[in-house]
Amino acid sequence: MKNNLFHSGLLTMGAIAALLAGCARTPVEPPPAIPRIAQCEELTGLPLVDGTVEAATSVTAGATVTPDKGAIGLPAPAAFCRVQVRLTPTPASSIRVEVWLPEAAAWNGKLLGAGNGGFGSNMMVPSLLMRGGVARGYASVGSDMGHHAKSDVDATWAQGQPERIRDYGWRANHLAAATAKRVIAAYYDSRLSASYFHGCSDGGRQALMEASRFPDDYDAILAGAPAMPWARLATAKAMNDRAVFGRPGGAIPNAKLPLLQKAALARCDADDGVVDGVIDDPRRCAFDPGVLTCRQGDAADCLTAAQVQSARALYRGPHDGQGRPFFPGFMPGAEATPGAWDLWLTGPGAQQGRFATEFYRYFVHGNPQWTTADFNLETDYPLAQAIQADITPGGPDLGRFFAAGGKLILYHGYGDAAIPPQNTVNFYRDVLEASGAKAAGSVRLFMAPGMSHCLAGPGPNVFDGLAALDQWRQGGPAPDRIVATKYDNDMFGYLGLPAKPLRTRPLCAYPQVARWTGSGSTDDATNFICTDPQQP
C-alpha cells in the first residue's frame, strides 16, 4: 500500500465543561470471555461492550467492495472477512465500524486503524486505507465517526448533538480500536503483535487525538497534514475566505492561477539546483505576486491591484486586528495544480469558505443562516475556542505516548492548499520542546515538495510511510529517507492500479532536504542525498 491519502478533509467540536470527561478513557467493563471462532460468518452477533456485530461476510479476492450505499466499489485485493459493527456508547450515539480480517494464513499479526476526511460521515476514505492494509496482511479497522451526512463538508449533524460531536472528536476511533482488538482475539489463534494508525487531514487530527488521549490504543502512528487546532484552523479559513471574496474585485479567476505558478517557479524553481517544476522549500522563496500587477485596467495576463492583494494575503496568512500573525499562509509554486487553489481558495464555492461556514453554523452558533460575511474575529473566535475541547488533541505534549514506546511519523505536502504546511512544521517543533527527552528519538517529520493535500500535485507524492513506521517500531533505525513517486495518475499509483511512474525523489527527515548529486537522472531518487538545507 502506498501510504498517504486523498480527500478534502477537516474536523468538529466539544464543550469546555466536558473537557475532563472528554480526556478520560471511556469506561470499559471487563469483557466476557470470547470463544475462538473458526468461520467468518460465525462472528455475526458477537457481543461487544458498546454494541454488537451486525454482519460478518466472507469476501473473495477480486470481488467488488462498496464501502457506502451508492459509492464507487473497488475490487478486494485479497480475500478477507468483512465485519460490520454498530456501536451505541450513549443513547444519542450510532457509530458504524468495520473490521476487515485477512485469512489466517495471510495475517501479519498486526492491526491498521484508518482515519477519515473532512467532517467524516462515511466509510469511503478509511476503506481506501483498509483496502491497502488487507492487501499487505493487516487486519484493518475504520468508522464513519458516528454520523451520516450528505458529504464530508456537511456538518448539519452536529447542531445540538454534543454526544455525536464527542463520537466524531475522539470516541469513535477509540472504541473502534477496542472493537477491532476484541474481534481479532475471537477470530485468530495467534495474538495481536502490533497496532498502527494512519490518517491524513482530519485523519491526521484523529491520529494525534489517539496519541494524545489514548496512548495505549496504537503502538505507532502515521499522521499526514493534521487539521488542527480545529477552532483556530476553521477561523483562519473564514479569514482567508474574506481576504479573497470580501473585497470588491478581490476574487482571483482560476484562469489566472497559472500566472502565479509560472512566476513563482521562475523566481525559485532553480534554487535547489534542479529545474523540475517543483520548489524544494517554498518557505525560502521570496516571491511577490506584485510582479504580475496590470499596468492599466484588467487583462488575462496580469492581476489587478485587488487580486494582488488577495494573493499576498493568502501567502502571508491571516493576521488579527493588531497585525499579529494568526495562522500560517500557503506556499508558492503549485497554485494552478488541479484541486489546489481552484478547489480550496479561489474557485466558486471554495472549500475554505465552506468548511468555515459549516463549522460556525453548526458547531458554534447553531444558526444555519450564518455566512462568512457575518464573521467577526473578536466575537466569533472566542466562541469557537470554548467548544473545541472534544475535537482537538490536548497540545503537543505526547510524553505518555512516547514513554510507552510509541513512534510518530508526521508528513505534509508543501503544495497543500487546504491546510498550510507550516502548521505541521510548527507542531513538530512544539512536540520536540514539550514532550521531553524521548521525543527526539520517537518522532520524525517528512515534508513533501510539490505534494498537494494528502496526495497528488506536481511533486512525487505516493510513498510507503506505513513500511517505514513498521520497521521503526519493530526495532529498526529511525527513518531518515522515504522514497516518493510521481505517477501519470497518482490516484491509480496510490491504489496499486496500473500507472506509469514518472519520477522518484527521496523525502528527507526534517530539517534535511534532498539535493541532486550532480550526476545521473534528476528523475531517479538514487541520485539524491539528504543533507542540511544550508549545504549546496
Asked whether the beta carbons of 175 and 169 are under 8 A apart, the reply is no
Counting every residue, how long is the chain? 536
Return mean pLDDT, the chain.
91
Cis upstream peptide for 506 (omega within 30°)? no
Across 119-143, average pLDDT:
94
Asked whether the beta carbons of 52 and 45 are under 8 A apart, the reply is yes
Measured CA angle at 227 (ends 224, 233), to 5 deg? 150
pLDDT of residue 27 exceeding 80, the answer is no
Query: What pLDDT score was predicted for residue 34?
Result: 53
Catalytic residue numbers?
201, 416, 453
Distance in angstroms (rounded) separating the CA atoms of residues 240 and 245: 9
Reported as a pLDDT band with limits 50, 70 and 90, residue 355 is very high
pLDDT of residue 517 exceeding 70, the answer is yes
Query: What pLDDT score was predicted for residue 82?
Result: 98
pLDDT per residue over 480-490, tens digit each? 999 999 999 99
How far lies 33's CA from each of 30, 49, 110, 385, in Å?
9, 12, 22, 43
Cis upstream peptide for 511 (omega within 30°)? yes
Query: What pLDDT score was predicted for residue 36?
Result: 65
Measured CA angle at 148 (ends 145, 153), to 5 deg? 85
Cell of 224: 499526514
Distance in angstroms (rounded) separating the CA atoms of residues 233 and 424: 12
How far lies 4's CA from each of 68, 253, 383, 451, in Å?
21, 30, 34, 11
Question: What residues contact 220, with CB distance under 8 A and at least 6 apart?
Answer: 194, 196, 197, 406, 407, 408, 409, 469, 470, 472, 473
Q: What is the DSSP string of 160-208?
A: T-HHHHHIIIIIHHHHHHHHHHHHHHHH-SSPP-EEEEEEETHHHHHHH
Cell of 142: 475504520
Cβ atoms within 10 Å, residue 448: 28
Distance in angstroms (rounded) separating the CA atoms of residues 38 and 190: 12
Reported as a pLDDT band with limits 50, 70 and 90, residue 210 is very high
pLDDT of residue 225 exceeding 60, the answer is yes
Domains (range + CATH), the chain: 16-26+36-229+390-437 (3.40.50.1820), 234-385 (no CATH)
77-111 burial: b if 16+ Cβ within 10 Å, else e:
bbbbbbbbbbbebbeebbbbbbbbbbeeeebeebb
Across 438-447, average pLDDT:
96
Question: What residues contact 300, with CB distance under 8 A and at least 6 apart?
Answer: 255, 256
Distance in angstroms (rounded) separating the CA atoms of residues 5 and 3: 7
Lowest mean pLDDT among 10-14, 223-227, 500-504: 10-14
Amino acid identity, position 242: R
